[in-house]
Each structure stands twice: as C-alpha cells, then as structure tokens.
Amino acid sequence: MTWPDLTQSLTPAVHAGLPLFAIVLTLGAYLLGVEMQKRLRNPLANPVLIAIVFIGITLRLLHLSYQDYFTGAQFIHFLLGPATVALAIPMVRALEHMRRGFWPLMSALLAGCILGIVSGYGLVRLFGGSQAVALSMAPKSLTTPIAIAVSASIGGIPSLSAVLAILGGILVAISIDPILNWLKINEPSARGLAAGTAGSGIGASRVIPQHTLSAAFAGVAIGANGILTAILAPILVPLLKHW
C-alpha cells in the first residue's frame, strides 16, 4: 500500500470522528511542540509554530479542509475568550507594582504603539509595497480581532492584517528571549510589556509562564495597545499618507 492509498483509506475513518480527531490532533501537536522545545532548547522550536505546521501538513495528507478541522478545533478556540478575561487576575496581583511605575509604563506603551504603526507603514512603503499593504501592516502588533477591525477602518486588507498579526506574534514568541537576553533586559515587567505590545497574545504566551508580573504586564499591554492603536491609527494614518 502506497502512502496516498493509505491516507485515502484513512479519510473516511477520520471524517467519522471528526470533532474528536481535531481536538486530539491539536492537543497532540501542541504537546509535541512543548516536548521539542524542551529537547532542542532552540528559540525556533516554538510550540505554537510547531503545532501549526504539524497540523497543516496532517490536514493536507488526510485531504481535510480547514472547515473540517474547525468543527472540533472550535472547542479549543472558544477557550481563548475566558483565557483573555483571566489575564485580569495577574493584573490585580500586580496593581501596586503598576501604580508605582505608572508613567514609565504609559511612556513605554505609547512609544511602542506609535513606533509599531509608523515603522510598519513606513517600511512597507520604503521597500516598494502598496498603500493597501502598508495600511494592513500598521495594526500588525494587535490581538487579531482588533487588528482586523482597525485594518478595515483605515483602508487596509483585514485578512492580510490577520495573517500579519499571527505571524508577528509567532516572531515575538521566537525572538523575545534571545533579543532581551542579549540586551540584558531581565525584568519580568519589561519583558511582559514588550511581549504584549509587540506580539499580543501569542507573544505573551511565551513570557506568561516565566513570571506572574510578566503575565500582568503582558495583559495590560494587549488591552492598552489595542485601545491606543484603535484611537491613534486613524489620526496617524492621514499624516503618514502625506509623507
């Protein structure tokens, strides 16, 4: 039996137990990613990236569509809502810490937010990209639903912004430890805020297990950067278009 025959004959069985198959596949792929991260100790071995690639290949081999996969995977996706709400708990824990460092926190957030929009837009234009692509790049640091909404409101391509938000988050999850170790920036507050501002949820997922303060500052950064960009992008974009 050749490999295509084998996958062909597996397909009906997989379809029969589809929701369960998708859940088991997602959990298994992520656990595989976590295991590879432990073994390889290489920042590129990121569990989210490994799971996405592994599932993508599996779906293709079994001739399953994304809609087939999502009938089961939606149950895992659903938990993203309560998990986002749960970020409030480390925030409450870190309240005193944040109150004492309020102005540095606000300055870091504002600088990250504005630089993210301006450099994203400007670099696409500088390297010959179209206006629509540049506008889609502007909200790439945001959590996907806000990135889509902001992109639509400033004239970007929402689905491209969604792709860029996910890829940007994976990039942050992969690069944050090497970059900040190299710069000798070790405070959990700085790491958490930077992860949330530059890479929203996926970026945050890398630093949350490291320290409860990282989780708190990442949560603040995801919410605040989303709100700040939603307000600032429509103001900044007309200025950028002139320039």
Partner 1 sequence: MSMIKPIFILLLFQLAGEALRAATHTQVPGPVIGMILLAAFYILRRREPSPALEHAADGLLSWLGLLFVPAGVGIVANIALIRSAWLPISVALIASTFITLITTAWIMHRFGNRASIPKEGR
Give Cβ neighbours of residue 149 (< 8 Å, ≥ 6 apart): 158, 230
137 near partner 1 (CB under 8 A): yes
Query: Which of 6, 20, 40, 89 touches partner 1 by CB under 8 A?
Result: 89
Q: Which stretch binds partner 1 (CB under 8 A): 3-11, 13-21, 167-175, 235-243?
A: 167-175
Alpha-carbon distance of 90 to 188, in angstroms, equals: 12
Binding track, positions 199-228, relative to partner 1; x by CB under 8 A: x-xx-xxx-xx-----x-x-x-xxx--xx-
CA separation for the pair 59, 62 (Å, rounded): 5
Work out whether 116 is an interface residue with partner 1 (CB under 8 A): yes
Is 52 a binding residue for partner 1 by CB under 8 A? The answer is yes
Q: Which stretch binds partner 1 (CB under 8 A): 1-9, 11-19, 112-120, 235-243?
A: 112-120
Min. distance of Cβ 213 from partner 1 in angstroms?
10
For residue 42, state whether it binds partner 1 (rule: CB under 8 A).
no
**128: phi > 0 → left, psi -120 to 50 → alpha, else beta; which?**
left
Q: Which of 62, 156, 169, 232 binds partner 1 (CB under 8 A)?
A: 169
- Residue 5 CB, shortest distance to partner 1, in Å, is 25
Q: DSSP H helical segments within 62-157, as ranges?
A: 66-78, 80-86, 88-93, 95-100, 102-126, 131-137, 144-154
Instruction: Name the residue with tokens 């590879």.
Output: 36
Nearer to partner 1, 97 or 241 (CB): 97
Based on the shown chain and the rule CB under 8 A, indicate whether residue 36 belongs to the binding site for partner 1. Answer: no
Q: Which amino acid is residue 35, in one-letter code?
A: E
Dihedral sign for Cα 214, 217, 223, 227, please.
Answer: negative
CA 30 to chain centre: 15
Q: Does 190 bind partner 1 (CB under 8 A)?
A: yes
